[in-house]
Each structure stands twice: as structure tokens, then as C-alpha cells.
Chains A and B, each alone.
Chain A
Amino acid sequence: MRRFKVLKSLIRDSLDTITHGSRKYHLWMAALTFIMLVGMYCYSIQLDQGLSVTGMTDKVSWGLYISNFTFLVGVAAAAVMLVMPTYVLKDIDFKQAVLIGEGVAVAALIMCLAFVIADMGGPSVLWHMIPGIGVFNFPNSMLTWDVLVLNGYLFLNITIPFYILFRHYQGKKSKKSVYVPGAFISVFWAVAIHLVTAFLYQGLQARPFWNNALLGPRFLASAFAAGPALIILVLAIIRSYTTFKIEDKTIKKIAMVVTVAAQINLIMLISELFKEFYAPTHHSESAYYLFFGLDGKNALLPWIWTAISLNVLATVILTFHKLRNNFKVLFFACFILFIAIWIEKGFGLIVPGFIPGPYGKIAEYTPTGIEIGVTLGIWALGAFVFTILAKTAIGIEIGKLRYKK
């Protein structure tokens, strides 16, 4: 009974926190709400007329939605890079950052699920996928694995921080015996969500561009670069706008993680390029399309070369200690690395998988305004969810929110 009382008070207090803030905060939330509404309007058009309002066709049947989904799974998985040292290796530095990291993971997962639902042709029969009432093609379909691991990871990332914050809210210390096992599982789980998502593509013999053994490991490397890079940026913003204390040491440690992951990612990129272009086969055509264009069709060229140059530049900057330890340079490097990987692992990965088609037909894909509207709406949703979670968590952590008996 007491716990319910505390919960009720927590909900009331957090509602109070998230509805009060500075002028800038209100402007931020209003802008996000506006973008979400625009996204919902675009989605209503899509629901009404069907997916024909998007740029997708029978030739390129996955587009911006699935690209963003793939990328965001990586962002969600990256929260583990903070969880592991804090809870498992008992490195105290990360303790403040880890709640933020888990908040990012929750927001990213919600975006992932929203993108998958936006991509569905029949969202009204989505219950067919629910085990028990529907038919769940497990273990044959990798998509069912993905449904399981994503929702499981979402559960872990909600419950662990919730337990810790719930204890802190009452002014108690959280018990290690409760959350450390959960943290342990989530470490393995994070690797699983990303590997399973890679297997979704890797397992298709029809698409040689995806059907290579490096796809999974490369997903992990790029995720562990882009995710923590985003977390560094978020921490930088939180540090300058709230009294929440994040030490330089913490950011420097995360920067180290980003650096190593970005270096490994670059090595894998070189390995992939070597394989595709040293002895090109029929199966290298998608890579040719992506990097050089085929038959005068080259819509992705500016994107992928931007991504590659940003990627190399960021990795070089991060590699030098002097540059990395200068925070202004670090934030810049993190930002361009994030953009680079969003391009490369988003539509730079998904779209060329369909080009050329099974019989060599080259049909390009350009997203429509409605598709972009829905995509922006979902990103705004993610930012909105994260802001709410972070504001409450910070309120509890700095002791502003406390249970009054």
C-alpha cells in the first residue's frame, strides 16, 4: 500500500516537474509538439491513401522508415557502453551518465517501434503479431526475434532506471542485488538487439549487398560509435542547462569509447570496400551504385561521400588526444560522426540493397514530403519522450524531487 502511495506521489511530482520550466524549455517542448502534430497529420494521410504516398515502390520496398529504424536500434544498443562500466565494473564515473544513457535508449526504442508501425501496410491487424492471439513465426522469421529483443530491451531499460530512481526518490539507496543482475542481462541484450537487427538483412540470400558476414559486427561497431557520441552531446547540453553535475572525466571516458568504436568501424569499412572493388563481381553492383552510381543513376552519391568524409574526419580528430580533450572539438567530432553514421547505416545501407533489383533493374528511391514529415514527427516524439524522462530523472538525482511523508 505504501508503495502505491509513493508511486502516486512520484507521478504527481514528475508531472509537476515536466510541466514547469524555463522559457526555453517551454519553447522546446512546444516546437516538438508542433512537429509531432505535423507528423501525425502526414501519417493520417498515409493511413487514408496507403503507402503509395511514400516514395517506396515494388522496386525499392523499404525506405526512410526502415533506415531510421535500423540506425536507432544502434543508438539504443549503445546505452550498454555506459551501463557496463557503471554497474558491472564498478566504475563510479559513469553513474550520472548512465541514467541519461538509459533514457536515450528508451527514447530510441520508442522511435524504433514507431518507425516499424509507420512502415506497416496494415497497422490495424498488428495484433496478428502478438504471441498467443496471433501467429508468431518464431524462430523462423528474424523479424519475430527482433520484436522479442526490442521489447525485452525496452522493458529492461525502463525497469532498471525506474527502480533506482524510485529508491532515490524515497531517499533510500538502491540495492545492488536487485539491479546488478538486470544490468548484466541488459549488457548481453544490447549486443543481441543489434546483432539480430543485422541478421534481419544479413539472412537474405536475395540481396547480396546485405548478405555478407561483416554486416553484424559492423552494425555493432558503428552503433558503439554513434550512440555514445549522441550521449556526449546530450550530456553537454544537460551540463550547460541544469545543475546536474557531470564531470569532465565522465565525458572523456565516453569519448574514449567513441574513438575506439569509430576506429574499428573505419577498418571494417576499408575491408568492405576492398572486397567489393578489388575483384568486383555481379554482386558488387549495389556497392557500385552506392559509391559511383550505375547507368547515370546516382542519387546516393552526395550522401555517401559526405558520410565517408565526415566519418574519416571525425575518426582522425578523435584519435589525437589533444583534439579529443578539447571539448569544443570533441562535440564537433561527435556531431559529425553521428550524422555520418546516420547516413551510412540508414538509407546508405537499406536503399542500395534493393538497387539493382533481382533482374538488374535500376529504379531509384526519393522519399516524399509526407514520408519526411512522418519521419521528423517520430524523431520529435523521441526527443519529447527523452526530455520528459531526463527532466524527471535529473530532478530526483539532484534531490529536488523527494517523497514527503
Chain B
Amino acid sequence: MGTERDTGVTRRGFLGLTAGTAAGVALGMRSFKAHAAVPHTEETWEGGTVIPSTCNMCVNRCGIRCRVVNGVLEKIDGDIRNPRSRGGTCAKGQAGIMSVYDPDRVKHPMIRVGKRGEGKWRRASWDEAFEYVADNLARIIKQHGPESLLWSSTTDLTEQFFVRLGIHLPTPNFARHATLCLASRNVGYFATMGGVPDSDLANAKYILMFGANRTESFQLPDNWTMIEGIKNGAKLTVVDPRMTYTAAKGEWIPIRPRTDMALTLALMHVLIKEELYDKEFVATNTHGFDELKAHVANLTPEWAAQETEIPAEKIVAMAREMAAAAPAVVVYPGRRTSWYTNDSQFRRTLPMLMALLGAFDAPGSHSFGSPKARLGSFEWEIEPFDVAERFDHFETRYPLANHEDGGYVSLRDAIVDGTTAYPVKGWMIYKQNPLAAVLDGKKSLKMAQQMDFICAIDVQPSETAWMADIILPETTYLERLDPLWAPSGPRAYVGIRQPVVPPQGEAKPILDIIKGVAKALDAKHEFETPLSQVFNFSMEEFIDAQLKGLPIDRQTLMQEGIWLGPEEKKSYGAYRSGKKQFNTPSGKIEFVSERFRRNKFPALPEYETPQEVPGQQRLVSGRHAWFTHQRGHANNLWLHELYPENEVWIHPELARQKGISEGEEVLVRSSVGEIKIKAKVTPRIRKDTVFICHGFGGNSAGQTTAQGKGGADFMLMESAGDEISDNQATHETFVEVVKV
């Protein structure tokens, strides 16, 4: 530490430095007030003005209430009316305050003047910035066609405006977040049951989680319904080579990594052999049971015990406990499933296991169709486009993946290895940090280096923004009006995200940035529909269109922050009785996947024994509750305070063998990179595995709090992707931990 900011200066100190107004008031002590029989002088507290809004520190979008005193955002609390977040706000949500007042924040358009990544910038006006971006895009479109532009962004309420600009150029080359996260889960569940179901954890009697870490990476409402379920008596079993906080809430099964499918297949073997499966459900609602029965006939618990290092008796006991609790069982789908190259196939086995247990369309299990408010839709100018094929052959290589999302590993490798169908010259990036998220970080840097033009739209000078030619500063979520949010959940509702404080510096909301780029581009290139015409509306008009058909207007919604739909009692039975069909080729839950079969992938999941590297450990990665995403969390002073640097977790026995002690700096090396990082010696990890928390080891000199703290997992991970979804496979790398 040692710097003044790290140890002593407070938020009010920053306000004094950055805003330059009301510093005297803000820096002063709280006024005193006396009370009680003996007059005492205590701290006082001001309620301030409370503005309801929607969080954006992760993808869950909790309802928040923001307390503003004298124009300064003082406190963020939860909104008890929100059916999904029910009044909670985590460390990240509250530290959103520091995303506004972060001294490293980009507050003005910045144009690169030194070499790429060197960190030399000059401040530009917005007019100049829009001209600069339009000049470069128009030049590339003219020379190489619009399809030579790569368009990267991450899921959020505002992403559609950025994507829409790409659609109208038009380029087919989008790179969205799915293959850095949940693509394999989506592909596996879609093939098996036509979608990813909701999990009724609060009423489950048995919860089985593979690696999913609901207590450290929140997903609403599952992080708190899981705890309610446990308090209601549910048994939680967590299968994971690492003991997470989630595993601490139940029974930890420290499985040998990459053998999860052996466990699920053996569980199915026991359920079928002991006739513990739900015969009626299987007969009415599933497809391919006989083939499954034959497929798992030899996959005994004894066989799985060899693979997984879980005792055979334990596997049998688990199957029996699950059958006893059925249908109130949840085998949890997971969220970030970017683990292994067989992940889509492994994910398929989870709903297959649920189908055998008849754990669907009943309380305490899976279901579709949770309450959701129906938003009206804004009518876009849409014309038919003659769009080129993607440059990376994604459609033919990954026929079952979502082609609009693209695949990060395959597109990066195609560009760097020179196997693209045509040149890729320009890269527009909105609110995404691929240079600190895609595995094999050195290779990603090469991709950036070979672009003619890179524009990053961001709040933070992220690793990716730092490599750009121009950074356009966006407002934080606490400074702008966004499209409405109406997720499915325990109860239908509509939430609004609105400005609670004015923007810092010259930051603009994304819609204004897109309009600026569109207008400047129209002057330089003729598009089928002029881009300015596409974006000829205000955010207020967009929201009003969304509210069409709902009994609430924009002003009232902004005042209230939330509109709650009617309370609905969930009804069950339509699927079980066969009245409703699943969105699969057979209309049933498919043990044998017809979609996989048609596309020449194994129709039943086939297990392969993992290959290990003697003397090395498998590297696994994950998150913790204090910062989940790359959205500048590592540079957030309040979050940095909670966890300033990550460590490599090693088992005490491995540490003894290597003579490594707690807190000692070690070298971790793989075939693609090496990092220096402190060791955490803990029994919470297997001996054959090491864990490095993602999100550290930042190398953007613009992020002065995060830079150089801890080690970056993605610099060690070798290029690999799931064979079916192209979800990046981050747990396929073996590393050597070296004492230095």
C-alpha cells in the first residue's frame, strides 16, 4: 500500500478532489446532536433524498434505493419490494458508489498519441471523437467492406443500441459474452429440454450442485432461495474440486476434476438398476429411455469411483437420497460453465438425471414459465440485409451454437492464426474486457495488435480500453436512463434504471454515443437506411414504447422505481400430464438428443477419462462474492479493500512437498505463460488441483488501484473450447507451481 489513497483518504476526500464543489461541507464531520438524560454527543445521520433504481454491478439487476445528500451519492440500499432481490444489496451493489467517484474513471474522450498500449493519450472533444471514429470506420468499410468490423459487447439493457449499429452497417461479426460464460449450458439444456428451466430451491429437499457457486457468484433469486431451502431442511451436496462458500453450506464432495460426467452417468445407472426412477414421468415425458438404459448399463458406481475418487457407496447413497426426495430435487444447471471441452455434453446429463427423478413441473424442482411482465416492443427500422458469412466459419464449425453471439476463442484464434475467410480490420468494443477474460491472454494481445482500428466505449480504462486507439467515456449506471427490465421471477415486475446523480466529466449515455457515431458516419458513407434515422428517438420514447399495454406511465415508474404485477400462484402439472410439449424435436425431454444426432454429435453423452500431466496440477478458476465481473470491480476502492490481491490455492500436502509456505510468492507456469502470485495453503482444494480467482493481475496502467495486484489466470490458460458450443474451456490447463 503506502499511497495516501489506499490507506486514508475517504470518499469525501475524493469528492473534494474530483468534483471540487461543496468539499468543505463534505469533508467536515457530521454535525452533533445531544439526547438521553445525560447529554451525549453522537454521530448524526441524514436521510437525504432516496431515488429508486436498478443496480448494474453484475447482471442480476437488483432493485436499489440510492440516498443522495447535497448532490452526493452517500448510500445504496436494497429495495424490499423487488421480488428477485427482496431488499438485499451485496458488497458490489453498495460499492457502486465508488464506480461513480473512481479517480481512475475515464471522464473525457481520449485519443491515443503514443504506441498502442503505451498509455499516452490526449483529451478530445466529443465532436472530434465522433469524427475520429467515423473516419476510421468509413475507411475500413470502403476498403474491406463492413464485414471486416468485429463488434464486441456484453449483455446488458443498453447493449441492443450498440448491436443495432453493427446490424445496420451491416456486419455479421458479433462477439458477445456467451462463450466466456454460459454457452455450453444453454446448448446442453436446449438440446435436452428446449431451454434452461427455473430451479425452485426454496422448496427443494435435495440440491445437487456441480461447481456452481451461488453464494459467491450471485444469481437471482437462487442465491437466497438456496439458503432458504437449506433452512427449510434441504440437503445440499456440492461437487467441486474446491471447497467454495457454497460447499461450506452443505456437504462437500471433492471430485477429481473433469470427471463430473462419470458421476452423473453412474447416478443414472443406480436409479435405473435399482428401479428408483419415476416410471410414469419417464414414460410420458422422455425420449430414448431404452437407449439410455443400455448406455449406462456398465457405468457402475464402482467404475465411477475409479474415475471420480468418490467412494462407490457414496454414489449409491446419493442416488437413493435423491430418489427419496423426488420430485423435490434440483440438480442445478449452473451459470458460468466454461470449464471443459466436453461441457455441453456434461450439461446434458443434468436434466437427464432430473428427468429420471421426475423432478420437473412440481414444487421444489425445475419448471418453465415463471411470472414475467410483458413489455411492449420498440419498433426499429428494419430492412432486409445482405449480410456476409462470419469470418471465422463459426456457423459450420458450431452449428448448434448461437451464431449471433459468436465464439471468442475460435474467432481470436482465426484472426491470429490467419485462417479468417476475409480480413478483419476494425474492432468496436462496448463494455467488455476480452483482453482480460479470454484465455491465453498473450494471444489475445496479438489480435488487438493486428487491428487497424480499435474503439472502446467504457467507464473504466480497462485492459482492453488501454489497447484502443480511442476511448469513449460512458456514464455509469447511476448517471443514466436505461431501457426497462422485466425478468421472470417469483412475481412479475418492471424495474427502471434512472440517473441518481449527474454524470462525472463529459461522460455520455450509450444511446447518445451511438447517435453521435451514427451522425458522423452518415456524412462519410451511404447506408441502406441512414444510421441517424435508425436512432432517431429518445430513451424516453423507447421506454414509453416498452410500457405500452402496461397500467403504468414513465413518470410514475420513475417515482416508484418498480411496477409489481399481480401475485400469481404457480400452477403445476401441464407438462407432467403431457398437455404441454417441450421445445425439442420429439416434444419430450430427450435422453437421446435428436438435435445432436442430426448434427453428427454423439446423441448420448460419452465419457472420456481425462488425461493428466504428471507432476503438474490442473488449474481451475472462479469468482468470489466481492467482485463478480470485470466491470472495473478490481479497481473499485471499496471492493479492492475487501480483497486486494488473489492467491494460488494449494493443498497443504503439495505445499509441504514443494517447501512452500502460506503467503509466499511463487511462480505458476503453463505452456502459454507464467505469473508470480502469493500462495494460499488450504485444505479447501484437492492435491491435484490449484485455484486462482479470476479478475486480478490487471495490466492496465490506467487502473492504478488494480494494476499489478495478484496474478491473471487467463495468462496461464491454454486455448481450448467446448466442442459443441465453443464456450471457452478454462479448466483444461495444467500448471507447475514453482518455489522461487
Partners in one complex: no
Give A residues with C-beta under 8 Å from B.
Answer: none
Give B residues with C-beta under 8 Å from A.
Answer: none
